[in-house]
Amino acid sequence: MLIVLFSFAYIFAVSLCTGFLVNTLLKKLIPVPDSGSLGITGFVVTGLVTMSVYAEVFSIFYRIGFLCHLIMLAVAVFGAVYCRTRIKSLLSDALSSLSREGTKAAVFAAVIIAAAFFTSRGSFHTDTGIYHAQAIRILEEVGVLRGLGNLQLHFAYNSAYLPLCALFTMSFLGIDALHTMTGFFMALFCIYASGGLWEFGRHERHGGDFSRIAILIYALTNMTGLQSPATDYGTMFMTLYILSAFICYAEEKIVLMKDSDKDIAFYGYLAVLSIFTVSMKLSAAALVLISLLPLVMLVRTKKWKELSLFLLIGFLSFLPYMVRNVIISGYLFYPVGAIDIFDVVWKIPAEYMKNDADQIKVWGRCLYDVGRADDAISSWLPLWWDEKQHYEKMLIYSQFVGFILVLINLFYRIREKKIKAPVVLFYATIFLNLAMWFFTAPFIRYGLAFLLLLPLCAIGDTCDILVRKKSIAIAVLSALILINFCSWIDDYFMDSAVFVKHYLAGNYVFPLPFERGNMYEYDMDSLTVYVAGPDEVNSYYSFPGSCYGDMVEKTELIGDDLKGGFKAK
């Protein structure tokens, strides 16, 4: 746990300095958010995104090890020196504020300690044992491998989050690889949410406040999984932050000029983040809808140079992801066969790719049979619903109630001529993402950020109407949503309580290492490949490894050694 706290502090310092440097450099080219709009969280996120893209690019040419980390650290140190006045000012203001508000400081400290506690112990997410840990090890040892998806299809689920995690495992120091990034995300965004809620009474509208509550509920939901470098968790935390920052700025910031540089800077910043987030997990693709707002602003003000630069920055943040996709799988987007433009020797066979895509779909729909991938909604919906737990059904119920509240809110805002385009776009983005989630692979965890935001923000945005109009209908609908959420919160609060009871002792200095699993050796053209036993734990400590012996048997080396990559036999 102590090592986890040191890791949090280190990630924070490096991210903050890198974020300030990037913000300062971009300021010479495009409008960028100021310190008041971004806050410490915004600068840290800028640093995290920059380092993720950097690690992705580096992995294409070399492994993510000591050299990669050293270059990153040198850039961060340069940023600390070059931006020292601004960094000192922002940190001084934050510390001064906390010294005046002891309760707030205590809450922040409790969040950090809770994050460190849960990150340092427990059992790992199933997918971490299947491929997250092994993918990180491969990045550390060789970087991106051609045709790696042939060794195990899960490796083709490319994500910008894993190179970021690999960048901070610190395994080059000769210690057990750290897996603290998800815990850091939790601490960072929960402090952001708590700090914003501290100003609840000063806000005229509360859609933003309830988006912050959604972040806290998501953190509670996944508290026992913070030790896992799971791509779902990182993506959902980023999604929640982006949408929360979007709605908070739209409802809480006072901007005097229409389409001002300040508006363009902040919404443009979030647009770039949304594009990057898709590279963390393809299921967040519809999040980029929020990019329409700064796009329209730039076109309307005829700022063609700035528009071009924003588009270029967004493209460059996404480009390494596409390049890595082609190297790993032979596809621009795996497992999407609609865009099939590459013919390379290491390409995953089309039948494998289609089977994999169908498996994701049928498991999400609770069908468990790839032969039923094309079943009509009337066929799979009852089965999907029957397999949902009570608290999950309550969450689904709240979506319908939330939708009604959104319509009521829209009616009043139009009638009072207080409608805001960013708020409309915010809900449109949520609706589109929920539709995409439901009709592709409706695992609750894949769409949880949007499932939390819709009903909660709907309550927040109708709060002032409820007070002004004394509407019984709005009160009843809001109460229904809150009752539904009580079931969700109670279930995961009890999970966390049981977790604490079982894992209270131990790991107060060093965090729990990755699972070792039971691996056996397989000879592939004189290369030893490790295959997981019945426990299906693809151990970080056995490299290269696969969970599935049948996949390994269908794969061969492209060249004479591992660095040449893999291809299907």
User: Taking the alpha carbons of 18, 23, 28, 34 in that order, is the dihedral positive or negative?
Assistant: negative
**122 neighbors 512 (Cβ within 8 angstroms):** yes
Tokens 């809150």 belong to residue: 482
For residue 467, the model assigns a pLDDT of 87
In a domain, 520, yes or no: no
For residue 419, the model assigns a pLDDT of 87
Q: Which domain holds residue 373?
A: 350-381
Q: Which long-range contacts (CB under 8 A, 24 or more apart) does 35-38 make?
A: 35/86, 35/89, 35/90, 37/249, 37/253, 37/262, 37/265, 37/266, 38/269
pLDDT digits (tens, 9 = 90+) for 280-294: 999 899 999 999 999
What's the CA gap between 8 and 26, in Å, rounded? 26
In a domain, 342, yes or no: no
Are 196 and 59 found together in one domain?
yes
Residue 444 CB partners (closer than 8 Å, separation 6+): 388, 392, 395, 451
Are 129 and 187 found together in one domain?
yes
Domain's final residue, options 342, 360, 381: 381
What's the CA gap between 366 and 340, in Å, rounded? 28
What's the CA gap between 285 and 277, in Å, rounded? 8
What's the CA gap between 496 and 230, in Å, rounded? 18
Q: Which two tokens stand for residue 220?
A: 């509670």
Are 161 and 288 found together in one domain?
yes
Cis omega (within 30 of 0) for bond into 544: yes
In a domain, 341, yes or no: no
For residue 340, the model assigns a pLDDT of 86
CA 431 to chain centre: 19
For residue 559, the model assigns a pLDDT of 87
Domain's final residue, options 475, 502, 529: 502
Are 402 and 453 found together in one domain?
yes
Are 431 and 319 found together in one domain?
no
3-state secondary structure of 519: strand
In a domain, 539, yes or no: no
In a domain, 149, yes or no: yes
**512 neighbors 227 (Cβ within 8 angstroms):** yes
What's the CA gap between 304 and 238, in Å, rounded? 29
In a domain, 339, yes or no: no
Are 49 and 88 found together in one domain?
yes
Are 456 and 405 found together in one domain?
yes
In a domain, 509, yes or no: no
Chunked mean pLDDT (size 10), the chain, 569 residues = 96 98 94 91 97 98 96 97 95 92 93 96 91 96 95 95 97 94 97 94 90 97 94 96 96 68 93 97 93 94 94 96 96 87 93 92 91 91 94 94 94 88 95 94 93 96 88 90 91 91 89 91 92 91 93 92 92
Q: Which two tokens stand for residue 433?
A: 């993402």
In a domain, 217, yes or no: yes
For residue 259, the model assigns a pLDDT of 65
The residues facing 546 across adjacent strands are: 531
For residue 512, the model assigns a pLDDT of 93
Helical packing angle, 231-252 and 207-221, nearest 10°: 170
Are 395 and 370 found together in one domain?
no
Torsion of the alpha carbons at 33, 37, 38 and 41, rounded to the nearest 10:
-170
Are 169 and 87 found together in one domain?
yes
For residue 258, the model assigns a pLDDT of 65
- Phi, psi at residue 545, to the nearest 5°? -135, 160
Extended beta strands in 81-182, E state: none
What's the CA gap between 355 and 362, in Å, rounded? 10
pLDDT digits (tens, 9 = 90+) for 128-186: 999 999 999 999 999 999 999 999 999 999 999 999 999 999 999 999 999 999 999 99
What pTM does this model have?
0.95
Are 373 and 478 found together in one domain?
no
DSSP 8-state assignment for residue 454 = H
Are 447 and 464 found together in one domain?
yes
Strands 527-532 and 519-524: antiparallel
- Could you count the other beta carbons within 10 Å of the beta carbon of residue 90? 19
For residue 338, the model assigns a pLDDT of 78
Q: Which two tokens stand for residue 223?
A: 């508290």
Q: Which two tokens stand for residue 32?
A: 């960028």
Give the CA distances from residue 294 to residues 210, 242, 251, 261, in Å, rounded to whole numbers and listed in that order.
24, 14, 16, 10
Number of compact structural domains in the chain: 3
Are 359 and 463 found together in one domain?
no
